[in-house]
Structure 1
Amino acid sequence: MDGLISIATSVGAILTSWSALDVVWATLLGIVVGMLPGLTATLGVALLTTLTFKMDADQAILILICMYVGAIYGGSRSAILLNIPGTPANAATALDGFPLARSGKAGSAMAIATTGSVFGGFVGMIALAVIAPVLAEFALSFGAFEFFWLAVFGVLVSGQLTSLDDPIKGWIAGFLGLFIATIGQEGIYAIPRFSYGSTNLSGGIGLLPAMV
């Protein structure tokens, strides 16, 4: 209930002329950024951060959130009409939306995307406000033991997703990835692991070099 009260308080705080104007222009700008392939929501937020740097914290966060939400929604336009997802989040939209557009149902596809974005945004916001405090308390109780078994569970699941009939290859790749992740200094106490005195390995191995 505290989360819902916080949402109600925040909504009341932004119901001013300037805040409403910020919501409108930031959302429209986000939609434009999302429609342009190559300009992702993250890039739009990063570029807009420079403009909001000296604003009040509440106003700046509101603008950045509207930019992000608008960009995620705007990416559905190019995904449906051009089969080019404007943002990575719209990759699935292109799979269903573009065939509908080719069959002459582009308007219906965009209407479904709009309805889903609005409904999903409201439901997600309310669910986050209700569940986030419980999840925060649960996450704080996690220790090294729980994180270890969570990592093992992730590897086992990745093996099953790779192939239901032969998951061994996925398991081998998962445990190999865990080993590569342990190379370099430990994140909290900077204890060297598997670096063998090499300064090149002290920072660990990045994701892209490991994948290549």
Structure 2
Amino acid sequence: FDVFWSTQLGILVGMLPGLTATMGIALMATITYKFVGSHAILILICMYIGAIFGGSRTAILINIPGTPANAATTVDGHPLAKQGKAGQAMGLATTGSFLGSLFGMVMLAIFTPIIGNAALSFHSFEYFWLTIFGIIICGTLTAPKDPLKGWVAGFLGLFVATIGMEGMHAYRRFSFGNVNLAGGIQLLPAMIGVFGFSEVLMVMKKPEIKIVSRKIERVIPRLKDITKHWKTIIRSGFIGTIIGAIPGVGEDIAAWVS
């Protein structure tokens, strides 16, 4: 029962733009403070997985990711929804979330020592090239016909991340004396703001909105649709497990790379 309600609550948190999986766990931790350790961990894990999954709903339907990890879902999910295939997109997102979680747990149970040692071997040099690799991948995915635009946007985001207090020497960078910028620009407001602002611009560009009402006919994906992409499922599972084990990287980068 606890697995059910914590997962459902996590899905609700993930569907609300502005609330992240980490925030949901922080709020849930106050409730599980007096629980048994294993029981509390189970609830928090279900909460986290549900929140990451729930963010795909808003990413597919309204092109606004509920969590930063679902930003990659908007690339293919929302175009499918505009084609009247929202049910298929949500079904595949549900299947992918389930298979990815299952694959990650199996890999974690079997290869924890190997993955842990490999993740701890990452230092500044590896983080730098992983960041550059992520920007190149994002640029190629978001603008396949003109990747230069994607790369410029990626490096612009890298510049925005440098705004605020420098971590080692507490030196303010690009804050221009503004106290509100001393803490930097957080990822979640930036992500939600960018996606929401782009939708506002699209509506202003086309003020006459054509409302298309279509019934979602099928949500559960066909077996052939899943087995047809079994190589992609296995590859993405490996990539997500490896990148997710690296400290400080997280699921949002893993989603873009996979």
User: If the TM-score is normalised by the length of the shorter chain, which range does it land in?
Assistant: 0.5 to 0.7
- The one-letter code sitting in structure 2 at the alignment partner of 1:93 is T
Give the direction of change, closer, same or farther, for the CA distance of 1:159–1:56 in structure 2 (3 Å limit): closer
Q: Larger Rg: 1 or 2? A: 1
How far did residue 152 of structure 1 move?
6.5
How far did residue 103 of structure 1 move?
1.0
Residue 145 (structure 2) pairs with residue 183 (structure 1): no
1:9-59: CA deviation from partner (whole Å, max 9, x where unpaired): xxxxxxxxxxxx110000011111111111111111111111001111111
Q: Where in structure 2 are the equivalents of 1:121-140 lying within 5 Å?
A: 121-138=101-118
- The one-letter code sitting in structure 1 at the alignment partner of 2:49 is V
| Secondary structure of 2:84's aligned partner | coil
TM-score, with length taken from structure 1:
0.61
| Secondary structure of 1:120's aligned partner | helix
- The one-letter code sitting in structure 2 at the alignment partner of 1:111 is G
- The one-letter code sitting in structure 1 at the alignment partner of 2:184 is L
Distance 2:134 2:7 in 1: 37
Distance 2:85 2:30 in 1: 40
- The one-letter code sitting in structure 2 at the alignment partner of 1:183 is H
Q: Provide the residue aligned with 2:228 in structure 1.
A: none
Distance 1:113 1:154 in 2: 26
How far did residue 131 of structure 1 move?
2.3
Q: Provide the residue aligned with 2:20 in structure 1.
A: 40
Q: Provide the residue aligned with 1:65 in structure 2.
A: 45
Distance 1:52 1:85 in 2: 28
Identical aligned pairs, as a percentage?
A: 51
Higher RCO (CA 8 Å, separation ≥ 6 residues): 2
Residue 184 (structure 2) pairs with residue 208 (structure 1): yes
How far did residue 159 of structure 1 move?
9.2
Distance 1:106 1:60 in 2: 35
Distance 2:133 2:67 in 1: 27
1:40-80: CA deviation from partner (whole Å, max 9, x where unpaired): 11111111111001111111110010000001111111111
Aligned CA RMSD, in angstroms, stands at 3.4
1:67-104: CA deviation from partner (whole Å, max 9, x where unpaired): 00001111111111111111111111122111111111
1:143-202: CA deviation from partner (whole Å, max 9, x where unpaired): xxx8465467558768977999xxxxx8xx99xx7xx65536xxxxxxxxx9xxxxxxxx
- The one-letter code sitting in structure 2 at the alignment partner of 1:68 is Y
Higher helix share: 1
Q: Where in structure 2 are the equivalents of 1:150-169 lying within 5 Å?
A: 150=126, 153=129
Give the direction of change, closer, same or farther, for the CA distance of 1:152–1:79 in structure 2 (3 Å limit): closer
Q: Where in structure 2 are the equivalents of 1:19-30 lying within 5 Å?
A: 21-30=1-10
Distance 2:6 2:39 in 1: 11
How far did residue 111 of structure 1 move?
0.5
Give the direction of change, closer, same or farther, for the CA distance of 1:152–1:52 in structure 2 (3 Å limit): closer
- The one-letter code sitting in structure 2 at the alignment partner of 1:65 is I
TM-score, with length taken from structure 2:
0.51
Q: Where in structure 2 are the equivalents of 1:74-85 lying within 5 Å?
A: 74-85=54-65
